[in-house]
Structure 1
């Protein structure tokens, strides 16, 4: 057997390889991708969309804030591998506020029927202690992550959940021609599109109750209009239809909120009729 010729420097070419150095100095608004730092269960469901960036050499860059809220702020975040132009995507990053800068206005009625793994955390929540507030911030993030994942797997119209890390959820950025999709409340659809929109909302509500849950805070302000497609957002307060004593009250409120918006734009819809249909679907 003939040995391969050595290079001029005496190194056997069989023991050499090409590589790219990832030694970039990161800016203050950048970090290395956290994709591989989180547990596999904290990553989005399979099959993943082909736009999800999984490169270990990717860099996360904050692009600015999209929305502020009492519990969380939503930012635009780019995840890109500087050495692979195919590995690049802009996502929405929802970050729940820390205990010192967060106003917990979510009522305890939303969490009725939920259980926590650690009794210590549950006691801290009930006492509203400092640790309880820390736990609560993570609880809402985990709750929303769980619902996003579950809804996506059921085929409901929600953003694809990319990953959750502590109090931050990365998810699909719903956009139209490079701009954030408007809330349904900001749109003025014609009659045909209005009817098409309502049917999408009705079907989403039907699918939710069939899955045994209620959105709990549905309105034209947390539904995005991506062209002719609607996408439901803001899911941390989703309640269990069987385990929460006020679930039917939340369901009726959801029906009232959406029906009044559509009725205000000339569509003949009735919240009681929709509520009755959904209750029938739930059993």
Structure 2
């Protein structure tokens, strides 16, 4: 049955003909003119079709507020409000899936790493500025109501992390960097593609400058991967994307009396005053980390109390972009000896009897 019943034939009004044509509208004196058309009532229509105000009472709609045309419709987004489905200021979608597999951290993946596609990276502030890079604090978190964790196949669904704090270390271009001792560390260092190696030797070309700008980030990420897998006390490297290295945040989150949570980075070793027992434990942890690097054929290259974090009773070695290949770099012995003497001087100044030359000899023996 059609929604509207057909009108009686006599009630139909024929349309006028085109310009200059004969009109089929009946005149007042025409005997053929039918009686006045009867108005079609609501009861003649199919179903109930409320049109009067009284019908609202019958339907229970008397309390409905009429729509104000000056206000945005409830189905339309308010252009003055941020879109909850899009990243806001200082945010981006997680880049975990957008990087190549080889640009992610080593297996086994720690349970705290967030791998969800729905996660947002929010920049929380700057942690440290350096000669060649700046470190930023980044929160990677899955917003509430983002759905099931079916987009995190790296971990079991019941173990998929939803929030973690990361350090985003972003390297500057060669024009804006302040690190001028590169040749001492890059001597003997190679890259995977010979085209990139040739470009690095020609700093005047745009491609050469671009490759040189990323070599520090690549060197640190690779060194962190190898060191972490070998058991050295270094931050876990989450991923690398161009000149940005994302790694584990070493620190804690503290809540003040007002209920506000704040991330507190672990202090550098130069700022702590450990007890005698803890000082000796720190030395054992540090020499263990240096030994792991030596067995990998590497020296830190710039090891000092400023590049070591004291996270409670745990030491963590950071800043590894200038790692030196002990076999290929002709300056490797000098660099390693400098590392040994720099860290030993700090421990000796605090009363621990250590021998930097003995440490140097032991590391060389492990390397070769």
TM-score range, shorter chain: 0.7 to 0.9
> Structure 1 residue 23: deviation in Å?
5.2
- What does residue 85 of structure 2 align with? 24
Q: Which stretch shifts more, 59-68 or 205-214? A: 205-214
Residue in 1 that maps onto 2:128: 67
Of 323, 339, 343, which residue of structure 2 is paired with 1:254? 339
Contact 2:227–2:292 at 8 Å: present in 1 too? no
Q: Identify, as 1 or 2, the structure richer in strand.
A: 1
Post-superposition Cα deviations, 1:75-97, rounded to whole Å, max 9, x if no partner, equal 00011110369511111110001
State the shift of 1:167 in Å: 0.5
Deviations 1:10-30 (A, max 9, x none): xxxxxxxxxxxx952322211
Aligned ranges 1:176-191 → 2 under 5 Å:
176-177=252-253, 178-191=263-276
**1:44 Cα shift?**
0.8
User: Is there any run of 5+ residues in structure 2 with no aligned partner, and where?
Assistant: 1-82, 147-160, 254-262
SS of 1:35's equivalent in the other structure is coil
Q: Distance in 1 between matches of 2:121 and 2:343?
A: 36
**Kept in 1: contact 2:166–2:248 (CA 8 A):** yes
How far apart, CA to CA, are the structure 1 residues paired with 2:288 and 2:303?
A: 13
Instruction: Tell me whether 60-69 or 106-115 shows the greater mean CA deviation.
Output: 106-115
**Quick check: 2:124–2:139 contact (8 Å CA) kept in 1?**
yes
> The residue matched to 2:306 in structure 1 has which SS?
coil
Tell me: higher relative CO, structure 1 or 2? Use CA pairs within 8 A at least 6 residues apart.
1
**Alignment counterpart, residue 115 of structure 1, candidates 190, 200, 218:** 190
Three-state SS of the structure 2 residue aligned to 1:89 is strand
In structure 1, the residue matched to 2:309 is 224
CA–CA distance in 1 between the matches of 2:247 and 2:356? 31
CA deviation map 1:21-45 (0-9, x unaligned): x952322211111111011111111
Aligned CA RMSD, in angstroms, stands at 1.7
Query: What residue ranges of structure 1 are gaps of 5+ in the alignment?
Result: 1-21
CA distance in 2: counterparts of 1:120 and 1:281, whole angstroms: 34
4+ runs deviating over 6 angstroms: none
Residue of structure 2 equivalent to 1:8: none
**Residue in 2 that maps onto 1:267:** 352
User: Quick check: which has more Rg, 1 or 2?
Assistant: 2
Moved more, 214-223 or 127-136: 127-136
The reply to whether residue 58 of structure 1 matches residue 58 of structure 2 is no
Contact kept, 8 Å, 2:303 with 2:342, in 1: the verdict is: yes
1:175 alignment partner in structure 2: 251
Shift of 1:107: 2.3
- Asked whether the equivalents of residues 176 and 227 of structure 1 are also in contact (C-alpha less than 8 Å), the reply is no
**Cross-structure match for 1:164:** 240
For 1:100 and 1:214, locate their aligned partners in 2 and report how far apart those are by CA, in whole Å: 27
Aligned length: 262
Q: Distance in 2 between matches of 1:188 and 1:222?
A: 16
When the two structures are superposed, what TM-score results if normalisation uses the length of structure 1? 0.88
